[in-house]
Structure 1
Amino acid sequence: MIDGWSEEVPGNEVLEFDPEKAKELWAEAEASSPGATAPSPSPPTPTPTTSRGWTR
């Protein structure tokens, strides 16, 4: 135990895992954004070249 530690710290309740609440929140998130995926990365920017094809 850490000296001065207490379960009575405000906000401590968010550290407890509730599997039923987790399922409920996950379903809520899925319903609000069905089929959402991470954005695709942008294609690389082409490197400018000179008229002879050399990279600047």
Structure 2
Amino acid sequence: MEHAPVCEQVPSPMKMPQKLKTPKDLMPLYLYLMSDDSIEVSGQSLDAQPDRKAGPAE
């Protein structure tokens, strides 16, 4: 049994645009992190796309 290259096994996010967050969706978190309001946020892992499962796009 031959295996397909990884690039063919994992669907491209461009083929599933409904699962991608837009820059407009993501920007509030980035603006918050760049502001003085987030001065005490440190050493944490923040998820800008919480509705998305970890790992390759499905």
The TM-score, its normalising length taken from structure 2, stands at: 0.26
TM-score normalised by structure 1 residue count: 0.27
Per residue, is there more helix in 1 or in 2? 2
Q: Pick 1 or 2: higher relative contact order, CA cutoff 8 A, min separation 6.
A: 2
Q: Which has the larger radius of gyration?
A: 1
